[in-house]
């Protein structure tokens, strides 16, 4: 399942907004998946659309903070959670890939908004940084960007990580 999610988000790298105003055919498809139209922020819509394409049950939302409920959290503010969630994610993923946290979802906290306000997929964990694939960002890592990019982010910039694998439609 993780490899399928990865293949889908990898296929979207390079998608760009048509006019820089949260629009364009593919961006609007992400937003439609969540019940919204063009012009809305879409980082979470991108994440949900990808999960949906892979058959993973998800909240179908464009609200980034809703992708981090307690039962999905595996890591928060710099520490793996000492819960079954982290152990479950690591054990399941290690059967299919050497990177146990592949295709998990990261959230960035914005103090000015007092909430998680940007999210994307973690493609690879390193010692001090992660490689991500995220929508509605840009080369500088903005949460109001213009496309789907592969990025490097310092691990210390992450606020939370959630794992939605294992809850495929029909289970």
pLDDT digits (tens, 9 = 90+) for 112-135: 999 999 999 999 999 899 999 999
As a three-state string, the secondary structure of 49-79 is HHHHHCCECCCCCCCHHHHCCCCCEEEECCE
- Integer Cα distance of 41 and 77 in angstroms: 24
pLDDT at 170: 44
Mean of all residue pLDDT scores within the chain = 87
| The two three-digit tokens of residue 121, written as one number | 């997929």
pLDDT at 12: 98
Cβ contacts of residue 10 below 8 Å, gap of 6+? 133
pLDDT at 140: 84
Residue 141: pLDDT band with limits 50, 70, 90: confident
Residue 146: pLDDT band with limits 50, 70, 90: very high
Partner residues linked to 110 by β-bridges: 115
pLDDT at 81: 52
pLDDT at 97: 38
pLDDT digits (tens, 9 = 90+) for 50-108: 999 999 999 999 999 999 999 999 999 866 654 444 444 444 444 433 455 899 999 99
How much of the chain exceeds pLDDT 90, in percent?
Answer: 75
How much of the chain exceeds pLDDT 70, in percent?
Answer: 83
Place of tokens 């080369």: 139
Are 123 and 2 within 8 A, CB to CB? no
Walk me through the domains of the chain, giving residue ranges and CATH numbers: 2-162 (3.90.1720)
Q: What's the pTM value of the predicted model, to 2 decimals?
A: 0.87
What is the 8-class DSSP label of residue 127?
Answer: S
Kindly state the average pLDDT of the residues 130-159: 93
């Amino acid at each position: 399942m993780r490899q399928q999610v990865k293949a889908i988000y990898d296929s979207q790298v390079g998608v760009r907004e048509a006019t820089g105003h949260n629009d364009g055919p593919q961006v609007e498809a992400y937003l439609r998946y969540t019940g919204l139209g063009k012009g809305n922020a879409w980082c979470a819509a991108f994440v949900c659309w990808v999960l949906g394409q892979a058959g993973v049950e998800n909240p179908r939302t464009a609200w980034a903070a809703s992708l981090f409920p307690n039962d999905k959290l595996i890591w928060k503010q710099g520490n793996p959670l000492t819960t079954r969630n982290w152990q479950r994610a690591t054990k399941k993923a290690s059967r299919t890939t050497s990177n146990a946290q592949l295709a998990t979802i990261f959230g960035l906290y914005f103090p000015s908004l007092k909430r998680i306000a940007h999210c994307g997929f973690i493609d690879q964990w390193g010692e001090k940084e992660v490689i991500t694939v995220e929508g509605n960002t840009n080369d500088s890592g903005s949460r109001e960007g213009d496309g789907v990019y592969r990025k490097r982010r310092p691990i210390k910039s992450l606020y939370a990580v959630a794992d939605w694998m294992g809850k495929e439609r029909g289970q």
